[in-house]
Structure formats: C-alpha cells, structure tokens
Chains A and B, each alone.
Chain A
Amino acid sequence: MRSQFWQLLSIQFKEFFREPGALFWSFIFPILMSFGLGMAFKDKPEIIQHVAVVFPANTDSSKLKNFLDVRCTKIKNKNSEYEFILDNKKLGKTIDHFFVRTREESDIMIKRGQASIILAEGNGRVNYFFDPANSESRLTYLTISYILSGNSTISNPDEIQTLNRKGMRYIDFLIPGLLAMGIMSSCLWGICYSLIEKRSKKLLRRLVATPMKKSWFMITMFMSRFIFTILETLALLVFSMLVFGVTIQGSWIAFAAILISGSFFFMGLSILLASRTANTQVGNGLISSITMPLMLLSGIFFSYSNFPDFIIPVIKYLPLTLFADSLRSIFNEGSGMSAVMIPFLILSVTGITAFFVGLKSYKWN
C-alpha cells in the first residue's frame, strides 16, 4: 500500500520535473518576475500621489502658490514641480507630487492617468476636481485636503468639483486599455495557442501532406482572428458607449488604423511564438509570460506613472502601452492620425516583421 502511494507520488513529481518547459514557467519565471518587479519597487515603499495644480490668473495672493513655495520642496531640474512629504513611522511616506500646469494641460494629465486630481484656485477658493468613482483620486483628495486645511480631514464639500465630463472619468481611462488588452489576449490565445495545439496533435503535419496552400491556412487564420477582434472590440465599445457613455472624441480613421496595427502586431507576435513551440504546456507558459508582464506594466487598470522614473521610458514603448495609450488619446483627447502616427508605424512594422520571421522559421512537421 505504502509502496503504491510512493510510486504514485513519485510519478507525479517525475512527470513534472521531466518537462523542462513546465519547470521553467513554474519555478524560474515567477522568480525572475519577482526579482524584476522587486528590484523596481525595492526603494520605493512610499505612496506617490500625482496632483495637477492650476494657479489663478493673479498669483500674488494665491493660497496654492504660497503653499507650494513655503511648505513644499521644489524638485530639482524639473520646471514647476514640487513635492510634499507626509511622513509617518508606521505608514511610511506619502509623497504628493505637484505639477503646476494650465487647466488644459491638467485635463490631459487626468485623461492619461498622469494625475489623479486637479487643484484649481479661483475667486480666492481652492477647488478639487476629480472623479469620485476613482479610489486613488479620493485618497489623494483626502490627503491634500488634510495638508491644506490643517487638522480637518474633510474640507468644505463645496470645494469638491466632480469631474464627470466624458473623457475625464476613470471609465474613460479604463475602456481603451481593456480594448487593447482584449485584442492582445484574443490574438495570442486564438492564434498562437491554437497553432501550437494543432502541431502537438499532428494536425499540421497531416494538413501539409495534402495540396493545401500553407499561405491560405495562415491568411484564413489571420482573417478569422481579425474579424473576431473587430467583433470583440465592437461589443465592448457599444456596451461602454451605451452603459457608461464612453465616446470616441478623436478620429475614427485613427481609431481604425490603431486597431489594425495593434491587431497586426499581436497576430505577428503569435506566429513568431508559435513557429517552433511543440507542446501546449510550453505554449501556455510562453503566452502567460508575455501577457502577464504587459498587463501589469502597460497601465491597463492604473496609470504606469506610479512606476519608478527609470522604467517609465521603457514601459512607454512596450507594445501594449503604445496600443492602449494611442487608443486613449483617440478616445479622450480627440487625437487624429498625426498624433498616433509613431505608435501606428512601430506596431505595424514590428508586427509584420515578426510575422515574416515567424513564417520563415515556421515548423510545419
């Protein structure tokens, strides 16, 4: 009995440890991820809150200017940027980062998730502009109102100006990101995983032993996936338009162009990843290793501006970030084709390159 138990237990372990791919994704990959993310956040245990500040026309008697000049520290080498540190032995530091901007610039910062609240002074009063549905904005509001008004944690409710204009809400930030993420997942699982599965079932081998045109096989796979991504996009778009009143303020042509280039990129990447992978376990890990970091880093749910400064330039050029940021600027900032031309070109060219490299090294048998 005991021997049977140990035999059964040992085969479970052997099966697992004899699959190098599974071993990598189960042990090595999480360690690498935690190492990477841990290193990135190791020195930043504090909470950083981003606040856009709009001065009144006359700054002579401005409360905000006075607050920034007297109680805050000017950030070195940064124009019109200040920080205020709220230190607590147990909680650690809460750093409020203030950006002095025009009202229009502040609105764009909110749309891009670069600031969670706007402090605007007018008629001798400081108003707080934010979306109350966004918990990060509420927390920032509570902190700032505490700092500005001494011991009172809740300032005069009249000072709160709800930001519920289209394009300014958290939902407006979220939907374009979700669209981009959906297309990424759809392409990687729909094309990459499906191809790997067909290879592992020997179906690809069977298909190429017929007069089937390989190019047609790939083109039909691309076409069907592209149609699915359009349908998925339309479904989410119509839903978010009807339920949340999300709108596309920019050019529909730019929207279509970015949608196509983003889809092409992830379809090309799918072919490249599937080109040599022989079994579905490894395929599973491979796809997760691409989608998981991109979802974490590319600011789908929350702005990536909270990541350390040194990593932000890298994040900005990650494919999912380029895709999501472009969609956001079209949705919320009214951007046209010229504003998204660079991401469009980067995504299209790298996607097509990945497709051809993948096809060249594609293992059919």
Chain B
Amino acid sequence: MINKAGKPPVVSAKNIFKSFKDVKALNGVDLEIQSSQYTAVLGPNGAGKTTLVEIIEGIQFPDSGEILLFGKHWKHNKEELHHLIGISLQETLFEDKLTVRETLRLFASFYKLPEKRVDEILEMVNLKEKHKSYVVHLSGGQRQKLALGIALINNPMLLILDEPTTGLDPTARREIWNILRGLKENQGTSMILTTHYMEEAESLCDQIVIMDKGKVLAKGTLDELVSASQTNEIIQFRIIGQKNIPDFSNFKNIKDMQYDEVTGQFTLQVANTSEFLPVLIKYLNEIACKVSELRCRYVTLDDLFIKMTGRKLTDNTSGI
C-alpha cells in the first residue's frame, strides 16, 4: 500500500494474530500509520496493546499476519529499521549505578552518535541538571524522561512509546506531553503511543485506535469516532435515595443509557440536549425524584469505550 505522497505507510499491520499458550493476545489486528501521524492505542490492561507494539518493534513476531515498517519487513531489514525507530518499553529499568549521561552515552554509541547528541537529548527532556545523577536516584517522572530521551536519541522517524506516563503525577505527565508535542511540530516524527489515559490520547494524537481482548474495536480521529456514535451529547446526574427510580424505557429521545446502581448515576445519550432537558426535569418532578450533580456535556472517548466494551478503560484484567 502506497500513500498519496508515493511513500509506503510508516506502519502497516495486516491481520495480526498472536497467542500465548491459551490466551489470544491479538486476534486479527489491522493498523496503518502514516508519516507525521500520532496514533494512540487505547485499551485496558490485557487488551493486547503491548503485544501489538512489541510486534511493531520487532521484539516479538506474529503467529500469522504481516507487519511492515516503512514498507520493509523486520526479517531482512533489522539493522536499518532499528535506526529508524525509537522505543520506550513498559517499565524498563536501566542500570542503577550509571549516571543519566552515561546511560544516554551508552545508547548513543549503538547509533555511533557524538557526545553532542547526548547534550541535545538532556536539553530536550529537561534532564540537564540531573546528568550526573545515578539512575537509582531519579524520580519516576525523571526515569520516564530518561526512557523517552533514549527513545529519541537516534532522531527516529517512528517513536513507539508503551504507556510512557503510567504512574506519573499530572505535572510529570504534562511535561512529557509537551516534549512530544514539540517533537511533532519541529521534526515531523510519527508516533504510536499506548495508554489507558483518555486525556493523553485526546490531547496528543491524530488517530485513536480502541482495542479490547486482542481486537481493534474502532479507529479514526476523535471527531470521526464521536460522530460515528449515534449521538454526541450526554446528560449525566445522580439520584438521591433509592426511592422513585426513574424509568426511561419509554423515552424515544434517549439513544443509550447506563445506570450505576452503586453510585446512583444515570448517563443518558441524547440527540439534542436543549430539547430533552426540560422534558427530563418535568418527568423527574412528576415522580418526585431528587437529583444532584446534573451535567450536560459532549461524548468522550470514555463514553465510547464503555459503550463498546461494557468496561471502563482503567479496568484491570490480565496484562498482555
């Protein structure tokens, strides 16, 4: 497959299957990533995200299906592809008693890069002040920045980051996002990022791929995904007490509904909030149902994910 510019896609994965013993980690996954495109692969733990990126990284091989990077197969182009990609694995621990600079210098040597590049990376990931610190003395956020710095050291055309901000506080997370945004603007890098943070996908990526149980459930831009949904407006409220629970089965304006019995929260997807809201308030008054935290908003990725899978993105299942 060749794109309009006459170049093959950065990543082309077709019908990828991969199993571990009895677990189907990937069950016929297709994915295409174009040049300068940032793609988020979203899914809860066990969705198959890490397996997919590790196959793209050439660390694992699919049981069947074809994976091409820049139109090339891993089998015969390992050396070249290693120079074109930069990766950050989930939870890699570098040598504790090496300094930040020494760690970067080691990886720079694999690409035959000069010391100048180490300085550039230290600047880019804001670790200049920590360049003499042992890795063991870095905070979680600083370690992730070091992992990102290592991924960027060879100025890759494709950056593959597996949950780069998991476990980080919001400030550290935003710092990483800023680095990634800068990279896109200045260098035109392509990126695959796995995450289970909706906000991360929404804020950074052009293409969003939603995965669960080894399958791609949906993919497209955020707008495409939202408009593919029957509706893009949400009314959410919490009922007070367990008496007079509303029954919305006869309301045709409601396209979809979720009710959380534990929290008493209703989430209604409607075609037109301004038309439906007076009707809803009138009905709630009639049945003497008291509500709190009434909110009207647009559909988010979270809503789409729950609708597609019946689970929240942060639900934990087995990690694959």
What separation, in Å, do the CA atoms of A206 and B161 have in the docked complex?
Answer: 12
CB-defined contacts of A202 to chain B, threshold 8 Å = 89, 91-93
Partner of A209, one of B82, B91, B95: B82
Is A211 part of the contact surface with B, judged by Cβ < 8 Å?
Answer: yes
Is A205 part of the contact surface with B, judged by Cβ < 8 Å?
Answer: yes
Partner of A210, one of B91, B95, B107: B107
Contact in complex: B59, A365 (CB < 8 Å): yes
Partner of B94, one of A203, A208, A365: A203
Min CB–CB distance B25 → chain A (angstroms): 15
Min CB–CB distance B132 → chain A (angstroms): 21
In the complex, which residues 170-202 of chain A have their Cβ closer than 8 Å to any Cβ of chain B? 201-202
Contact in complex: A201, B59 (CB < 8 Å): no
Is B303 part of the contact surface with A, judged by Cβ < 8 Å?
Answer: no
Is B28 part of the contact surface with A, judged by Cβ < 8 Å?
Answer: no
Contact in complex: B92, A211 (CB < 8 Å): no
Min CB–CB distance A212 → chain B (angstroms): 4
CB-defined contacts of B57 to chain A, threshold 8 Å = 209
CB-defined interface of A247-263 with B at 8 Å, one 1/0 digit per residue?
00000000000000000
* Nearest-CB residue, chain B, relative to A204: B92
Contact in complex: A209, B83 (CB < 8 Å): no
CB-defined contacts of A210 to chain B, threshold 8 Å = 82, 107, 110-111, 154
CB-defined interface of B73-111 with A at 8 Å, one 1/0 digit per residue?
000000100110001010111110000000000010011
Most chain-A CB neighbours within 10 Å: which of B110, B111, B154? B110
CB-defined interface of B14-33 with A at 8 Å, one 1/0 digit per residue?
00000000000000000000
Partner of A201, one of B93, B107, B150: B93
CB-defined contacts of A203 to chain B, threshold 8 Å = 92-95
Is B258 part of the contact surface with A, judged by Cβ < 8 Å?
Answer: no
CB-defined contacts of A206 to chain B, threshold 8 Å = 87, 89, 92, 94, 150
What separation, in Å, do the CA atoms of A203 and B98 have in the docked complex?
Answer: 13
* Nearest-CB residue, chain B, relative to A198: B95
* Nearest-CB residue, chain A, relative to B88: A206
What separation, in Å, do the CA atoms of A290 and B79 have in the docked complex?
Answer: 38
Contact in complex: B87, A209 (CB < 8 Å): yes
Chain A contact residues: helix, strand, loop or mixed:
loop
* Nearest-CB residue, chain B, relative to A201: B93
Most chain-B CB neighbours within 10 Å: which of A203, A205, A211? A211
* Nearest-CB residue, chain B, relative to A207: B110
Most chain-B CB neighbours within 10 Å: which of A202, A209, A211? A209
What separation, in Å, do the CA atoms of A365 and B92 have in the docked complex?
Answer: 12
CB-defined contacts of A365 to chain B, threshold 8 Å = 59-60
What separation, in Å, do the CA atoms of A69 and B94 have in the docked complex?
Answer: 72
CB-defined contacts of A212 to chain B, threshold 8 Å = 110
* Nearest-CB residue, chain A, relative to B96: A201
What separation, in Å, do the CA atoms of A111 and B79 have in the docked complex?
Answer: 57
CB-defined contacts of B93 to chain A, threshold 8 Å = 201-203
Known: A202-B89, A365-B59, A365-B60. A211 touches B82 (CB 8 A): yes
What separation, in Å, do the CA atoms of A203 and B95 have in the docked complex?
Answer: 8
Min CB–CB distance B17 → chain A (angstroms): 19
Contact in complex: B79, A205 (CB < 8 Å): no
Is B58 part of the contact surface with A, judged by Cβ < 8 Å?
Answer: yes
What separation, in Å, do the CA atoms of A206 and B83 have in the docked complex?
Answer: 14
Partner of A211, one of B87, B91, B110: B110
What separation, in Å, do the CA atoms of A208 and B79 have in the docked complex?
Answer: 11
CB-defined contacts of B91 to chain A, threshold 8 Å = 202
What separation, in Å, do the CA atoms of A212 and B57 have in the docked complex?
Answer: 15
* Nearest-CB residue, chain A, relative to B83: A211
Min CB–CB distance B251 → chain A (angstroms): 47
Contact in complex: A208, B107 (CB < 8 Å): no
Contact in complex: A211, B59 (CB < 8 Å): no
Contact in complex: A205, B111 (CB < 8 Å): no
Interfacial residues, chain B to chain A (CB-CB below 8 A): 57-60, 79, 82-83, 87, 89, 91-95, 107, 110-111, 150, 154
12 contacts across the A-B interface (CB closer than 8 A): A202-B92, A205-B59, A205-B92, A206-B87, A209-B57, A210-B82, A210-B107, A210-B110, A210-B154, A211-B79, A365-B59, A365-B60
Interfacial residues, chain A to chain B (CB-CB below 8 A): 201-203, 205-206, 208-212, 365
* Other contacts beyond A201-B94, A211-B79: 13, CB < 8 A: A203-B92, A203-B93, A203-B95, A205-B59, A205-B92, A208-B59, A209-B59, A209-B87, A210-B82, A211-B82, A211-B83, A365-B59, A365-B60
* Chain A to chain B: the 5 pairs with minimum beta-carbon distance, closest first: A201-B93, A210-B110, A211-B82, A212-B110, A206-B92
